[in-house]
Amino acid sequence: MVAAVTSGGSASAAGGKSVNAQVAALQKQFSAMQKQMVGLQKQLTETTNAETRKAIQLQVDAVSAQMQMIQQQIAMLRSQGGAADAVKDAPAVESAKAAAEAGGKQRDLMLGSLVDTQA
């Protein structure tokens, strides 16, 4: 289930709304796992049988690992969304757009790109 979210996540991370939708879905999944964790911890405290406690502890560890993976995916999606917004809102891009709209030439914004060829 987590792998399916990961594989689709990077393909549509460029669209802002899809990133937000993916983050919301992961947060919903995380909340469900938190509830599951509370139930497992309650079982762990109420169980006296050593074998049962070991089995429950393994489940707690597995759910904890899944929760950490979800948190990492959320952080990754948010950073991708933030990076896409930063590129979209970059001043260089805006000034190039403004120059094009004003009828001026768009220039290469890299240093050293202007070379005097009339020597």
Tokens of 34: 């938190």
40-61 tens-digit pLDDT: 999 999 999 999 999 999 999 9
Q: Compute the distance between CA of residue 44 and CA of residue 40 in angstroms, rounded to an integer.
A: 6
65-82 tens-digit pLDDT: 999 999 999 999 999 877
SS3 content of the chain, % helix, strand, coil (to 5): 75, 0, 25
Sign of the four-CA dihedral 60, 64, 67, 73: negative
5-52 tens-digit pLDDT: 444 444 444 455 689 999 999 999 999 999 999 999 999 999 999 999
Helix (H, G, I), strand (E, B) or coil at 27: helix
Burial 35-55 (b: 16+ CB within 10 A, else e): eebeebeeeeeeeeeeeeeee
